[in-house]
Structure 1
């Protein structure tokens, strides 16, 4: 791994006038900011269409892109919108209002589709045809699912008329014929998304910045994949899950976490050489350069909860696919998989053996090193003096309080320990943590943009275990300040971190 550093920021958090960050001008300005700051990585959260509670970890597709990330400015520049379409957007500055954004953007994307169908020249139509041909392995099922979901007022597929829910061929054929325009629009929306994402990816690569994607281990029950491939999952005859995913009770929760995702039928997936996983990772590596694998421990062993249980208490551990899955992935995609193993939480020797056997870097969160100081403090794996080169060190993640917010909650003893360890008086504590991450021997160092900006708890992206108010934080235009870029560049250079600039 090339020794470098970077920033964790989901595109929804970018500034802009349309209520949510997108893949347009602000995203390209952020690439310029990263380059000016001497950074070589931009990590994002999952990019799929969000479902339950607007969470990027509950996507309605493992392959599609989120329509809310499509840039209106770039649609206008392409000629699919008129200037009047973007006048007076109904948004105030501040956090994302997903309900308002979704309603406004759905209408805007429909007009963009109409604009394309009315004004596209032959070359543009040929490009759309090529896109459809290149994505035949997932796009037809997703487009039909998305059109059906819209037609049924976003209700989950298990609530659709029974012939459509169970994919009766005659019923699907008749519906697709009657609503052919709506299905084509879903394909076209994906064409817009991937065109804009590819342009952003190319711009990042040209500046020596690699994009780090994020792949949740599980998929949402209300998703195109579960609807189209029931045999991949452990479901009841009516399509509801038999067992679901989560984690057991621990220090943070007496009842554990009941995620609700259906569990895989790993025997069925293994029977065709894990084709779904090969397809999924191949697609993700086409649009990003590295992939963080969320809940990596679930490949070694996962917590199985009967679906009727209201909490995660009455679950049990089940052995996962382990090495067998990764052998199939390496056979199909190459022996050196550019993955980051999210190995946080209760990690057992079998998880460590799988990670180390694959030579994958794990994760260390600096904030965690000081959360429970005791007489064994100096041996904590999250502390920089215990780091190894094959590691990714973070100041915090999307699931943590910001460093400044965390600092405000600490008692005097913890603050004294932090100051002693980091050799600081506590002023600008976020920069002390960033400096510690950059000075680590770990090959990769990453920090949420909120930590670079020194924002408090109000800028936290997600609070696990809470239902509302998550995923909404946004930057302002003035937050991309040259002073913070200069400071990052100086520190990154001091500790031998630089972008991996491709040869010209």
Structure 2
């Protein structure tokens, strides 16, 4: 068991885009530091968030343009101003202006030639070149091609013709360097934030999607690792069969891995990917962990996930290689959905904690594994996740019979205090880490939900503002964390 899981802790789930701030989405700005201070005052030791990669138009953090890069939209211009890397910056209210100011910062950085920063910049480019070179070229090309996905590019670019790419690197050198600069600044800002969190005894908990986006630098640069044909079109795609969230399943559309090829070099692609995550986070969750034991393969021509089938994956070999490369890994398995005994065995073999979701607990079966009296220490308990409704919204939409069962289980006479009895239930659980979504701490309803799986509209937009956070919440949380040994 990793040392991080040997004591009881409390955590909060909040993606940085949900932080307050002047732009349409939150950033690594002063409010991120203020949030860490607020967590420390509450006695909360873990800040969990979603993936940090650059997103497509739908803003989904689970379909990023890179498995390594950080989202430039998260970059704080205040951080650049505070370090004299951006002067005469106007008030920025939209991402078009934000992009323009990043380009100004790049030009000022190039002209100033600060020796210390230049050395750090050159070192960053050397250390991260194995992904940064392809990513920055990919992004420059994407701009040149009007934002089109790589599989719609001219064949020579799509298929990475060596002579064409060499010429392209020369022609787009300035834009390539700009995208490298954005990554340099992102990682510098994030390391500062991570250090501040450590000073305040707050661990950063990240999320690594099991799959990468079809339209990503990773797939474009290493097509041989994915189930694509000679034209770059997917043959099979990822998803999950019909389940709690959707009657037709979920067709995610990610290309599947060619596990046989990945295994030949002991999963170097995965090792490098995890190395990046460990630079960013103290704890890493493997999203859709069950896909490491068996994955749902959907013919690419199918519009839904119904006609997929299960194929075994070499998860044991992969995890063994990762543990060899990174001893005592701080991993968490997202073991939700259609979980078989084989998935439990895989997780337990590598001593990874799984997840217990209270919103899944109250089906009337006293043997339901999500009920608190069924929990074990080596697990994480949540009231709900980013894919669930808020706990208040969930409760309000339940049938009366289920609400009565929940009140009976929690010992309630009325439901006016919800969702706090559910939060208290999570904190009282024997699970080593209890994570509460920020929406639940603010007792918000369904209109503040972060994501509805299987839909593409209206997701990833929720944000809080500081006036929503009552002053008494610090003492309330601190008391409960102390009461249940999680302070």
TM-score w.r.t. the length of structure 1 is 0.93
* 1:99-498 matches, cutoff 5 A: 101-334=94-327, 336-370=328-362, 373-374=363-364, 377-424=365-412, 425-498=414-487
Secondary structure of the corresponding residue to residue 366 of structure 2: helix
How has the CA–CA distance of structure 1 residues 251 and 482 changed in structure 2, closer, same or farther, with 3 Å as cutoff? closer
Unaligned runs of 5+ in 1: 91-100, 499-504
1:62 aligns to what? 67
Matched, 1:47 2:52: yes
Shift of 1:58: 0.1
Unaligned runs of 5+ in 2: none
Shift of 1:428: 2.2
Does 1 or 2 have the higher relative contact order (CA < 8 Å, sep 6+)?
1
Matched, 1:4 2:12: no
1:31 aligns to what? 36
Contact residue 23 and residue 200 of structure 1 kept, 8 A? yes
Question: CA separation in 1, counterparts of 2:146 and 2:79?
Answer: 28
Contact residue 23 and residue 95 of structure 2 kept, 8 A? no
Contact residue 245 and residue 453 of structure 2 kept, 8 A? no
Superposed CA deviations along residues 156-199 of structure 1, whole A, max 9, x for unmatched, are: 00111111111111101101101111000000000110011000
Question: CA separation in 1, counterparts of 2:61 and 2:239?
Answer: 17
Shift of 1:120: 4.0
Question: CA separation in 1, counterparts of 2:427 and 2:245?
Answer: 29
Contact residue 248 and residue 313 of structure 1 kept, 8 A? yes
Superposed CA deviations along residues 32-61 of structure 1, whole A, max 9, x for unmatched, are: 000001000000100000125110000010
Shift of 1:77: 1.4
Superposed CA deviations along residues 343-386 of structure 1, whole A, max 9, x for unmatched, are: 0111001101000111111001101112xx23xx2111111111
Secondary structure of the corresponding residue to residue 337 of structure 1: coil
Aligned length: 481
Secondary structure of the corresponding residue to residue 137 of structure 1: helix
1:98 aligns to what? none
Contact residue 16 and residue 477 of structure 1 kept, 8 A? no
Question: CA separation in 1, counterparts of 2:406 and 2:113?
Answer: 59
Moved more, 307-316 or 197-206: 307-316
Which residue, 69, 75, 78 being the options, matches 2:80? 75
Question: CA separation in 1, counterparts of 2:96 and 2:224?
Answer: 34
Shift of 1:86: 2.8
Contact residue 428 and residue 454 of structure 1 kept, 8 A? no
Question: CA separation in 1, counterparts of 2:244 and 2:28?
Answer: 39
RMSD between aligned residues = 1.2
TM-score w.r.t. the length of structure 2 is 0.97
Question: CA separation in 1, counterparts of 2:42 and 2:417?
Answer: 18
Shift of 1:251: 4.7
Shift of 1:295: 0.3
Question: CA separation in 2, counterparts of 1:496 and 1:477?
Answer: 27
Contact residue 52 and residue 58 of structure 1 kept, 8 A? no
